[in-house]
Amino acid sequence: MASILIVDDSGMSRRTLRKILEPAGHQVTEASDGMSALEQFFVERPNLVLLDLTMSGMYGIDVLKKLKEIDPEIRVVVASADIQASTRAMVEEAGATAFINKPFDVDRVLKAVSAALKENTSGTE
């Protein structure tokens, strides 16, 4: 189906997302911090990035902005335990395609990924 880069400093979160996405047919790669994510993105060019906001080193919003500089068309789904409306607005303004809350709900993750991928393919020929 799609290649997806999971960016999260929590190994448990990465494993959880992998267990959700791989059975749905997606190819998954992982990065544990912002700099690794940018390197992986540049090499792999995934169809979608699932990005945590709160990470050590480079904050997720900064990673999002850098990803959009590299590829303005990249689809990024932000995952965070922060449920504030201001956080959601901030990531949407920075170019996130969708926002999902932690802890992860299988159906919500798959729906957000599916919607983001459809949006990605609907604008291209």
For the chain, the domains span: 3-122
pLDDT at 29 over 90: yes
Predicted pLDDT of residue 15: 98
Pair type for strands 27-31 and 48-52? unpaired
At residue 26, the 3 state secondary structure works out as: coil
Gap between the Cα atoms of 119 and 116, Å rounded: 5
Gap between the Cα atoms of 1 and 39, Å rounded: 22
Gap between the Cα atoms of 2 and 117, Å rounded: 8
Predicted pLDDT of residue 121: 52
CATH of region 3-122, choose from 3.40.50.2300, 1.10.287.130, 3.40.50.300, 3.40.50.720: 3.40.50.2300
pLDDT at 4 over 70: yes
pLDDT at 36 over 50: yes
At residue 99, the 3 state secondary structure works out as: strand
Of all residues in the chain, the percent with pLDDT exceeding 90 is: 86
Q: Return mean pLDDT, the chain.
A: 92
- For residue 120, what pLDDT band results from cuts at 50, 70 and 90? low
Helices and strands, counts by H and E, the chain: 5, 5
Asked whether 49 and 74 are in contact (CB, 8 A), the reply is yes
Per residue in 48-89, pLDDT (tens digit) is 999 999 998 899 999 999 999 999 999 999 999 888 899 999
Of all residues in the chain, the percent with pLDDT exceeding 70 is: 95
- Sequential DSSP letters for 30-45: EESSHHHHHHHHHHH-
